[in-house]
Amino acid sequence: MECTLCNSTNQELIFKDVKDLEYETYKPVDFLICTRCGLISQHPLPEQNEIPTFYPFDYRNYLPEKNNLFSNLKKIQFKSLTSRITKYITNKEANILEIGFGNGQLLLSLKENGYDNLYGTDFTDRVFPTLKDRGIQLQISNVEKSIPFNTKFEVIIMNNVIEHFIDPITVLTNCKKSLTKNGCIILITPNSNALEFKLFKTCWAGFHAPRHIFLFNNKNIKMLGDKLGFSKINVESMTDPGQISISIQNIFQNLKLTKTKLKNGMSWYLTPLSILCAPIALAENTIGKSTSMMCVLKN
């Protein structure tokens, strides 16, 4: 086995039988770590035709917005994400593409902030009706094959998406070809150098098994950017209290005694737990050890 990122053949089994504790869609999976660059990868890689079965109909990211506490917290999160992303967009006419837009909250938030040239692609058409009339151009596609729009983008966003692909290098190569000269790719993805990874191990929300296939860290994501010829790579820590609460929920779901029925992969206590975890998430962010990171890869 050769590492996808650094080509080293020194790979060790890091975790065996990591379960899908959120949706119970698939058998437990194993993960390898590259001892040279630290890239964590599912082993064996799933077959392409198995991947759609990992996303059940009640998958959280495809839920329409509701007027409940969970949705309102999500709204706050997307508002803050929008302001972090728009720092990298020079004008309101810029072409912006989101790959894996889920329920479309980020695209809609960009729309509300006056950005009009918005594009989205996802592998399923589940959420298209709610976004149809907002003037956002949408396509179903697998970006491992190609980007489905014949235009150049100033910004391509993947919010917790790159870790879901079997071939993230081809995805980023395809994206790079679709960038303008000064364009950039913004990735939000789990950071395996996070404190929570060390603490929660196989219950770490970052595994999201079997849906997460490659897990990067704040160092090897820079190697990846260099390898693909990006001129500048910037990595920032991202606060996400939801991730700590999912890790805790995973621990409870893994125990027979505390196992409860989940709705959309969430327990009744998940949202209040996220609020309680917010100060911890902020502290982790201060020391740069958050579960999530934001990487900006400049063309």
CA–CA dist 97, 81 (Å, integer): 15
Task: Using the minimum distance from each CB to Zn ion, give the nearer residue, 190 or 265.
Answer: 190
The CB-side HSE value for 145 (13 A sphere, CA atoms) comes to: 9
Shortest Å distance, C-beta 198 to Zn ion:
20
Task: Using the minimum distance from each CB to Zn ion, give the nearer residue, 4 or 61.
Answer: 4
CA–CA dist 187, 297 (Å, integer): 8
CA–CA dist 144, 130 (Å, integer): 26
Task: Using the minimum distance from each CB to Zn ion, give the nearer residue, 139 or 170.
Answer: 170
Q: Which residues bind Zn ion (CB under 5 A)?
A: 3, 5-6, 8, 34, 36-37, 39
> In this structure, what is the dihedral angle of CA atoms 296, 281, 42, 19, given to the nearest 10 degrees?
-150
Shortest Å distance, C-beta 14 to Zn ion:
13
How many other CB atoms are found less than 10 A from the CB of residue 279? 10
CA–CA dist 155, 22 (Å, integer): 32
Task: Using the minimum distance from each CB to Zn ion, give the nearer residue, 11 or 95.
Answer: 11
Shortest Å distance, C-beta 196 to Zn ion:
22
Task: Using the minimum distance from each CB to Zn ion, give the nearer residue, 167 or 240.
Answer: 167
β-pairing, 153-159 vs 137-140, is unpaired
- CA-based diameter of the chain, in Å? 56
Shortest Å distance, C-beta 12 to Zn ion:
11
Task: Using the minimum distance from each CB to Zn ion, give the nearer residue, 41 or 109.
Answer: 41
Token digits of residue 267: 């327990």
**Contacts (Cβ under 8 Å, ≥6 apart) of 263:** 58
Shortest Å distance, C-beta 90 to Zn ion:
35
Shortest Å distance, C-beta 58 to Zn ion:
35
Task: Using the minimum distance from each CB to Zn ion, give the nearer residue, 119 or 214.
Answer: 214
Shortest Å distance, C-beta 5 to Zn ion:
5
Stretch (H or E) spanning 214: strand 214-215
Residues 194/291, Cβ–Cβ less than 8 Å: yes
